[in-house]
Amino acid sequence: MKSRIDSTAAISVTDLFTIGIGPSSSHTVGPMRAALTFMDSLPARPKRVRCELFGSLALTGRGHATDAAILLGLSGYRPEGVDPDAISTILGDIRAQGRIRFGSAAEGWVPFTEETDLVFRMGDFLEAHSNGMRFSAWFADGREPMVRDYYSIGGGAVLPGEALPDPALGHNVVQPFPFSSGAEMLAQGEASGLSIATLVLRNEGAWRTQAETEAFLDSVIDAMSASIDRGLRQEGLLPGGLKVRRRARAIHNRLRLQQDALGPAQIFEWVSLFALAVNEENAAGGRVVTAPTNGAAGVLPAVLHYYRRFVPGADREGERVFLLTAAAVGFLYKKRASISAAEMGCQGEVGVACSMAAAGLAAVLGGTNQQIENAAEIGMEHNLGLTCDPIGGLVQIPCIERNTMGAVKAINAAYLALQGDGRHIVSLDAVIETMRQTGEDMASRYKETSLGGLAVNVVEC
């Protein structure tokens, strides 16, 4: 099984942008959803459950809070609903009492000993995908144990081991303007006279009304803003043992004193600050938007905030256009390659986010469809080969700063594309295919395993 989505499947903006908790969409949000799905599928209350983690989930799971995510999911919590401030208390109760909740309080509890019932299969991989999980449940009536495999394929999306289509991906949905490549996207725009954002908005009508789609986009925009705002207020050390100190609040205080002398350098400092604030929140397990992943959650909010703050005439409608256009590009990466760092390295996370953000910004700056496609191509072209080698398995170094680089690079890509007429040599489709090939050729030690790169060449403190 490949994590590349069937190119005939319709993907919605609600699949691409989801509100959850940090630090990782593939290692935290996905496993939580898988554990919850498994428990919801059980025919009766089990006498015991076990989860085995494989591949990248085992190798870097503790640094990505995969263990916490599994406990929360098994206990019925959802990434979009759990209160980040309550998680430590919930986990403390589970570990102290040695049990997880099954269904409602009236349905009872299931004994759970983390040392034996949550197993990290270090160095073992399931065949289908690096982010593999195996859940088992035993029952008091002596029936055969129930065993299910799940794969966290990036962006919080989960597929079952039987490789059944994800129903959320809309295999039976008929869209008025379907596209599975950049060329098809441009052709649809040319034939209809519609912008890329409008193509996506019309396609979303296959699932819901325009008002409902706009309300969803507004909730994403507000969540992105909230993650910036909260990140700017917090201080202290990030969890995990590296003793990484939050910097966003101190930088924010300094930049506020320099607002009267705002120049290009200061603007880029602000953009970097916005991304830094989001990814410090993500590293701390706070609430962020997968865009398209948690590890790259700071890029789109930072560029969106740049538009809001520094582009004259910015408004909520423009912010929706930004997200719809970015989503169109994100769909292509999901269909034609992957947004999983365990498959593609960080080019599949920060690289994709940079490409999406460049497209979104080019759109709200008045770019044509061809210029938007060019901006997306430039955004990825200069992230090709980017590895994922988090020190200590934590989404901190180099992940937090890498988002600041991705945001600045996206703005550069958008303005560079707007200087041309949309004609360029390397197409978006070509760069996506190149990213896919590069990811497949990349050694596994550079793909979210913490077995190579900075993860082994920097001594942990």
Q: Quick check: 169 pLDDT over 80? A: no
Largest CA distance in the chain: 74
C-alpha distances out from residue 452 to 85, 122, 152, 419, 436, Å: 33, 15, 22, 39, 20
pLDDT band at 33 (very low <50, low <70, confident <90, very high): very high
156 and 186 together in one domain: no
Residue 263 pLDDT: 83
Whether 11 is in a domain gets the answer no
What is residue 422's predicted lDDT score, i.e. its pLDDT? 95
Average pLDDT over residues 10-33: 94
432 contacts 333 by C-beta, under 8 angstroms? yes
Whose tokens are 């929706």? That residue is: 320
Same domain (yes/no): 332, 402: yes
Residue 265: its pLDDT value, please?
Answer: 87
Regarding whether 374 and 230 lie in a shared domain, the answer is yes
**Tens digit of each residue's pLDDT (9 = 90 or more) over 67-115:** 999 999 999 999 988 999 999 999 999 999 999 999 765 578 999 999 9
What is the DSSP annotation of 173-236? ---SS--SSHHHHHHHHHHHT--HHHHHHHHHTTTS-HHHHHHHHHHHHHHHHHHHHHHHH--S
Q: Within this chain, do residues 226 and 145 fall inside the same structural domain, yes or no?
A: no
Q: Identify whether 240 is part of a domain.
A: yes
pTM of the model: 0.90
Same-domain pairing of 151 and 193? no
- Any bridge partners for residue 120, and if so which? 53
Is residue 194 in some structural domain?
yes
- What pLDDT score was predicted for residue 260? 72
Among 95, 125, 160, the domain-final residue is 160
Cα-Cα end-to-end distance for the chain: 39
Confirm whether 212 is domain-assigned: yes
The C-alpha R_g of the chain, in whole angstroms, comes to 21
Two tokens, residue 16: 């691409």
What pLDDT band is residue 164 in, cutting at 50, 70 and 90? very low
Domain end position, chosen among 103, 129, 160: 160
In this structure, are residues 28 and 69 in contact, taking their beta carbons and an 8 Å threshold? yes
pLDDT at 173: 85
Cα(274)–Cα(410) distance, integer angstroms: 14
- Residue 96 CA to its chain's centroid (Å): 32
The label of the residue with tokens 């700071």 reads 298
Q: Are 366 and 360 in contact (CB under 8 A)?
A: no
Lowest mean pLDDT of 1-10, 106-115, 384-393, name the range.
1-10
DSSP-assigned beta bridge partners for residue 147: 136
Position 177 in a domain: no
CATH code, domain with 77: 3.30.1330.90
Structural domains in the chain (count): 2
Together in a domain, 293 and 442:
yes
Structural domain range at position 392: 182-446
Q: Is residue 255 part of a domain?
A: yes
Q: Which of 168-177, 212-221, 348-357, 390-399 has the lowest mean pLDDT?
A: 168-177
Whether residue 188 sits in one domain with residue 143: no
Please tell me whether residues 350 and 216 are part of one structural domain.
yes
351 shares a domain with 282: yes
**Gap between the Cα atoms of 202 and 8, Å rounded:** 17
Mean pLDDT of 232-257: 96
- 452 domain-assigned: no
The CATH number of whichever domain residue 333 belongs to comes to 1.10.4100
Helices (H) and strands (E) in the chain, counts: 19, 9
Q: Please indicate, yes or no, if residue 14 is contained in any of the structural domains.
A: no
Mark which of 99, 129, 160 sits at the end of a domain.
Answer: 160
The mean of the pLDDT values for the chain is: 93
For residue 168, pLDDT over 50 is answered with no
Looking at the structure, tell me whether residues 90 and 229 fall in a common domain: no
CA dist., res. 358 & res. 129, Å (int):
29
pLDDT digits (tens, 9 = 90+) for 268-311: 999 999 999 999 999 999 999 999 999 999 999 999 999 999 99
Whether residue 315 sits in one domain with residue 231: yes
Residue with the bigger pLDDT between 210 and 104: it is 210
Cα-based distances in Å from 293 to 25, 104, 137, 380: 5, 31, 30, 16
Q: 128-158, pLDDT tens digit by residue?
A: 888 999 999 999 998 899 999 999 988 898 9
Residue 278: is it exposed, middle or buried by C-beta count within 10 angstroms (0-12/13-18/19+)?
A: buried
Same domain, 232 and 367: yes
